[in-house]
Chain A
Amino acid sequence: MTVSATQTLHPIAGRASLRVYLRQIWDRREFIAAMPRHELHAQNLDTVLGNVWFLLNPMLLTGVYWLVFGVLLDVDRGADNYIPFLMTGVLLFRLWAGGATSGARIMWRNRGLVRSLYFPRSVLPIASALTEVLTFLPGVLILLVVAVSTGETPSWRWLVLPLPILLLSVFTTGTMFFTARLGHKFRDLATLLPHVTRLGLYSSGVLYDPERFTQNDAALLLFDINPLYQFITLARWCVIDIDVNWWFWITGPAWAAALLIGGFLYFWRGEMSYGSKA
């Protein structure tokens, strides 16, 4: 067979090599940056308050938790400044849990785009993670306001706060790569996941300080190796100066990097499956 091609032919079917794939993602960086704007627009089209909800939500949520756990059940056990303590936990945990859940739906929700046009599919979980982080940030401002109004004084530690937030964001992106591929394969995951994350809520010290509840070393170790507990504790140290295991600054980044790389590779290996109808 004679080939008169002046351009070379490349294999089309099958996924791109990792190098090419990363390059393709980089070429879509503006697309990733533009997606959250459209996504948020679509989400808030039919609400009266629109974007104000991103400020209201964390406040209302903290209010409810404070009422139930702080006032009625007295979970704080005399902790200083329980409200910002609680709010930090709730906010950070919501970023991760919300990300995991929306990751499970992301491939289905964008099936029109995926079946019509070719682009590296991991752009979708990345853009979705970015959306989650952007909607989370207003809550941090509220948190700092609440911290001041409950007696905290602004400190140099506040300048470190972006670090645990970054770690958690990276960790969440990694989680979303996993839930995106799994959720595309098993639609059931989107229904199952809230129960899993709820379990995470109670095992990550979101609502209480585990050390005020148990002296059992084995139980405390379970908290200490939990990446979410690590990120939340680091953030609490920044906001209200609680005691922190200093090695969290090592294990936290390790967890974040592991999830990001592992999740990305897992998602990339399924690259060709996302366009299928089944």
Chain B
Amino acid sequence: MTDHSTDETREVLLRATDVHVTYRTYLDGRVGLRRRLRQGLRSGAPRYKDVRAVQGVDLELYRGEAVGLVGSNGSGKSSLLTGLAGLIELERGHVEAVTRPSLLGVGAALNRRLSGRRNIEIGCMALGLSKADVDERMESIVEFTGLGDSIDLPMNTYSSGMRARLVFTIATELEPEILFIDEALAVGDRTFRRRATERIQDMASEASSIVVVSHNLAEITRMCTRVVWLDQGTMVMDGETDEVLDAYKAAFPDDERRDTKKAKRKARRLERGKDKLRAQRRAAHDGEDESSVAPADPLP
């Protein structure tokens, strides 16, 4: 493991010590009312199970670096980033940073019923921009998304790639000092991935620290100087990109095949399947949203 703490020349932007993230998942299956009530009253969540997603990770991020975060599905990458970004409560551990990190996730959408343009406004203002600032930057933001006229359509008509474009643009617009990108680029097309990669490299070479989660090892090699490998919630390795990726590929020879053409096609098919699933899930969610938007008349 490379010991970065001895490096005195670089400025630490984030330091995490012994981070533990545990989340609750609901168990499937029939549960009697008595048990529901007992568990529900005690903890607020019936029929759940605790999943210990991250178990004691130490990490330091420096100014001017792009770090790749690799690991198999369910290794705790997203949970770690969510915890470091301060979006969920840590089970244990401590995170300190110069500013709060921005987290860019897959399928993130702010308000699906509203247009891309309105979402840009909401997102930028939530991050603290004034209305005047947003208005001033709006055209360049819209331009960068490359969404054209679709920018005025509601977001629930967007494909996952279009959503990714929009959310990536919002999250990078303020040039956050610490940015986490959780597979958000995977769904974008070639043009957008190239522009996004350029922007990430620009940001890293200037002032930011960026963590990229990706299963595309070629992309990580291109963008990142350092790679962190996570497995079952603990850190396996932290060091130079080539060194870590070689070890990672040796441990998971399957992942390397993704680089071959055949595997790429397979991956795309898989992604389409996932997309479909997400779309279905989204449709179900949207249904819920709509019923909750309808003014519930509190009077009989």
Contacts and interface: CB of A to CB of B under 8 A. Distances in A.
Given A9-B15, A11-B95, A42-B113, A28 B128 contact: yes
B292 A98 contact: no
Contact of B295 (A5, A98, A201): A98
Interface in B207-258: none
A110 interface: yes
A114 B123 CA distance: 10
Given A13-B83, A31-B125, A198-B300, 12 more contacts: A11-B94, A12-B95, A12-B96, A13-B93, A13-B95, A14-B86, A42-B111, A98-B296, A109-B292, A112-B110, A118-B85, A190-B292
B140 to A, nearest CB: 20
A2 B15 CA distance: 12
B175 interface: no
Contact of A5 (B9, B82, B98, B300): B98
Contacts of B88: 272, 275-276
19 contacts: A3-B12, A4-B9, A7-B98, A12-B95, A12-B100, A27-B128, A28-B125, A30-B125, A34-B131, A42-B111, A43-B295, A90-B299, A94-B298, A112-B112, A115-B87, A117-B102, A186-B44, A194-B296, A194-B298
B125 A198 contact: no
B98 A34 contact: no
Interface of A: 1-14, 27-28, 30-31, 34-35, 38, 41-43, 45, 57, 61, 90, 93-94, 97-98, 100-102, 105, 108-110, 112-119, 123, 185-186, 190, 194, 197-198, 201, 272-273, 275-278
A273 B111 CA distance: 20
Interface of B: 5-6, 8-12, 14-15, 23-26, 40, 44-45, 48, 82-90, 93-98, 100-105, 108-114, 118, 121-123, 125-128, 130-131, 154, 167, 171, 289, 292-293, 295-296, 298-300
A2 B60 CA distance: 12
Contacts of A41: 114, 118
B257 to A, nearest CB: 32
Given A4-B10, A10-B97, A31-B125, A116 B108 contact: yes
Nearest to A117: B126
A195 to B, nearest CB: 10
Contact of A277 (B12, B23, B44, B298): B23
A38 B100 CA distance: 26
B118 A12 contact: no
Contact of A113 (B94, B96, B101, B122): B122
Most chain A beta-carbon contacts within 10 A, residue among B104, B127, B299: B299
Contact of B96 (A10, A35, A109): A10
The list of the 10 closest CB pairs from A to B, nearest first, reads: A97-B298, A275-B87, A9-B96, A31-B125, A278-B24, A272-B89, A116-B108, A12-B86, A42-B113, A119-B126
Contacts of A5: 11-12, 98
B98 A10 contact: yes
A7 B8 CA distance: 14
Contacts of B131: 30, 34
Contacts of A118: 85-87, 100, 102
Contacts of B5: 1-2
Contact of A4 (B11, B97, B122, B298): B11
Contacts of A116: 103-105, 108-110, 123, 167, 171
A8 to B, nearest CB: 8
B293 A42 contact: yes
